[in-house]
């Protein structure tokens, strides 16, 4: 591992419908209960994306039950951002929002440049390829940051 493993991680993106739920699911699959993991969006105006569900299912990651939520909803429900060790922003808008909300807390915020696949491709296969590229970018960044997966394939 390149850095200390956090006890809690929050992934964030624009809508909590593609990148951040994918990251949350992958992190849980790869590292199990090593860290408390959640995801959130700047907005909550979209449901989980079907292509994100499909490409994560290829790796045994189930996203169908994911319910999108925003930073505002998170605060309304009593989730405290200061309780996270690490917030990983997957879009510029979510980076700005995370930095704004944590400016008075001692919370590490990282920005990972991850492709938004939502507008790419004109055919189903082309769209799936774009979503696979996003998934694979997340896998690489995650393993670079946290080390090889600790959970077995059967876990």
Q: Which of 41-45, 59-63, 103-107 has the lowest mean pLDDT?
A: 103-107
Between the two ends of the chain, the Cα-to-Cα distance in Å is: 21
Give the DSSP letter string of 38-82.
EEEES---SPPPHHHHHHHHTTT---TT----BHHHHHHTT--GG
Q: What confidence score (pLDDT) does residue 44 get?
A: 85
CATH class belonging to 8-146: alpha beta
Q: What is the mean pLDDT of residues 56-60?
A: 96
How high is the pLDDT of residue 126?
A: 97
* Overall average pLDDT of the 64-73 stretch: 91
Tell me the mean pLDDT in the region 35-55.
93
**Among the ranges given (28-32, 50-54, 123-127, 150-154), the one the predictor scored with the smallest mean pLDDT:** 150-154
Residue 40: phi, psi to the nearest 5?
-155, 160
Residue-wise pLDDT tens digits, 110-147: 999 999 999 999 999 999 999 999 999 999 999 999 99
More confident residue, 96 or 76: 96
Please give the Cα distance from 109 to 123 (Å, whole number).
36
Element (H, E) at 9: strand 8-13
Domain boundaries in the chain? 8-146
The pLDDT-based confidence of 1 (bands split at 50, 70, 90) is: very low
Return the pLDDT at 3: 66
φ, ψ at 42 (rounded to 5°): -65, -40
């Amino acid at each position: 591992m390149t850095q200390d493993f956090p006890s809690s991680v929050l992934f964030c993106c624009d809508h909590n419908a593609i990148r951040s739920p994918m990251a949350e699911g992958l992190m849980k699959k790869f590292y199990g209960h090593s860290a408390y993991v959640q995801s959130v969006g700047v907005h909550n105006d979209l449901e989980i994306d079907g292509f994100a569900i499909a490409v994560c299912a290829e790796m045994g990651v189930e996203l169908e039950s994911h319910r999108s939520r925003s930073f505002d909803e998170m605060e309304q429900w009593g989730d405290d951002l200061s309780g996270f060790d690490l917030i990983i922003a997957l879009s510029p808008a979510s980076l700005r929002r995370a930095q704004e909300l944590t400016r008075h807390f001692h919370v590490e915020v990282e920005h990972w440049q991850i492709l938004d696949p939502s507008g790419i491709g004109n055919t189903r296969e082309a769209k799936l390829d774009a979503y696979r590229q996003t998934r694979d970018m997340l896998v690489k960044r995650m393993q670079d940051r946290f080390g090889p997966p600790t959970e077995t394939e059967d876990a």
